[in-house]
Amino acid sequence: MKKTLRTAIAAVSATALLASLAACGGETAQSDEKELTVSWYYSSDGGDTIERAIALYKEQNPDVTINEVHTSFEQMNKNAALTLQADDAPDVALYNQGTSSVGNLASQGVISDLSEYAEEYGWDEILPESIQTIAKYKADDGGIMSADGDWYGVPINGEFTLAYYNADMFEENGIAIPTTFEELESAMQQFVDKGITPVAFEGNETASQHLWYQLALSKADRQWVEDYQSYEHDVDFTGEPFTYAANKFAEWVEKGYLPNNSGGLVAEDMITQFCAGEYPIMFSGSWWFGRVNQDGDFKAAYSVFPGNENLNTGGTGKLWVVPETSQHKDLAADFLNFLLSEDVQNMLATEAGLPFNSSDDYSLESLPDALKNPNGTFDDMQEETKEFNNVFKTLLENDAISLYPDWPSAGMYNSLNSALQGLINGNSTPEEATAEIQAAYEEGKADLGL
């Protein structure tokens, strides 16, 4: 998993790189002042990983002053364009992935093209192609996310959806944890036959649309993903991926694999019920790893969604961007490269942060003191974090990350949930649900002028 950076990384001071990268600075006049303002979604629990990374960067670059700006997802989601163009805009900021977010700002000229930095630092060698796609956008074509676009963001870790299993419930009921799709359906039916609804679920946030997309991906190929996500070619909503996903989803509802009240539930309901031991299976995101291990009073097991080892729902964490107005672009790029360095990536690995460039022998003991979690939150979970990181590593090795179903346009999120709630509640047929999804997709495409 580890790849070698082509240029100096964390231990080299920012100063040594500024001269060689001066040409990458963009049109905004660049300052010689060694000062950097960093904005990110801050975690106030005392264990924020970026705050720890900044502490190490300052140790290694004592001549650089870093100003921290703590923000939130909600603030940036509402005000990103204003924030990143203000007189006091940060030099580097964390923002949401996708065409409607980073892509939109790229099309407006708000954020900088980082392609020269990507080549200079070798980010194109560190990140798998499917991950690079999430960082690339066509600014002149409405900001569409595309493998053929330019680098407008830098991801430092991943995320993906997977199957969580309550291994104790499986053992108590004499059912084997599945490794194939056929075994998954067999296990769910065995639980139903015992009077147990197998899957913790919700229909108001992301679980339903992620399951629908996983089912579609199981009948798709990489070109289908490119076409759906980047409008590279027209997609056929009567084709097998879409029809299979809607029909299989409806079948699972009818067979009782999914709770019949899940259309009215939210993610907090789902994770609370799973951690309480009420359901043996949960299909959801890597972001629940800590919660499952901390709140669940059972042995948990994890796997890629069975059958989706080659194409799987997932992406990156939020993207780091550099506003076009920044006068410290070279220094900002150096900091982003530092976030991809082995030390920082190893820190993420010890906390199930799904890094892209960690060493194979990472450990808590090998971390620089500045990067160690003061709360010790994951100290007793190192065996579990390694297992979890290895699931993600398998997907990276297969270049299987296939993004999220709502990313093509801003309206997709609500339309997917609406259509799939119709299937959960029995108010829609698979054909009607697919037609509703197609209408939202085509509207988003038209909004981009395509």
pLDDT for residue 29: 67
pLDDT for residue 259: 95
pLDDT for residue 3: 38
* CATH tag, 160-313+405-448: 3.40.190.10
The two tokens of residue 444 are 């988003």
CA-nearest of 12, 10, 15 to 32 is 15
Contact between 283 and 305 (Cβ < 8 Å)? yes
Distance CA 203, CA 206 (A): 7
The two tokens of residue 364 are 């808590």
pLDDT for residue 19: 38
SS3 of 186-232: HHHHHHHHCCCCCEECCCCCCHHHHHHHHHHHCCCCHHHHHHHHHCC
CA-nearest of 5, 367, 49, 428 to 203 is 428
pTM for the predicted model, two decimal places: 0.85
pLDDT for residue 315: 93
Contact between 19 and 120 (Cβ < 8 Å)? no
Task: Say which residues have a Cβ less than 8 Å from residue 375's Cβ, sequence separation at least 6.
Answer: 45, 46, 47
SS3 of 57-117: HHHHCCCCEEEEEEECHHHHHHHHHHHCCCCCCCCEEEECCCHHHHHHHHHCCCECCCHHH
The two tokens of residue 32 are 């010689």
Q: What is the mean pLDDT of each run of 10 residues along the chain (450 residues)?
A: 38 38 53 89 79 97 96 85 93 92 94 98 92 95 92 96 97 98 98 98 95 98 93 93 98 97 94 98 95 94 95 95 96 98 97 93 96 92 92 91 90 94 96 97 87
Structural domain boundaries of the chain? 35-157+317-340, 160-313+405-448
Distance CA 126, CA 142 (A): 27
Phi, psi torsion values for 40, nearest 5 degrees? -155, 165
User: Is there a shared CATH topology between the 35-157+317-340 domain and the 160-313+405-448 domain?
Assistant: yes
pLDDT for residue 6: 36
Q: Which fold has domain 35-157+317-340?
A: D-Maltodextrin-Binding Protein; domain 2 (3.40.190)
Distance CA 14, CA 34 (A): 9
Element (H, E) at 163: strand 158-166
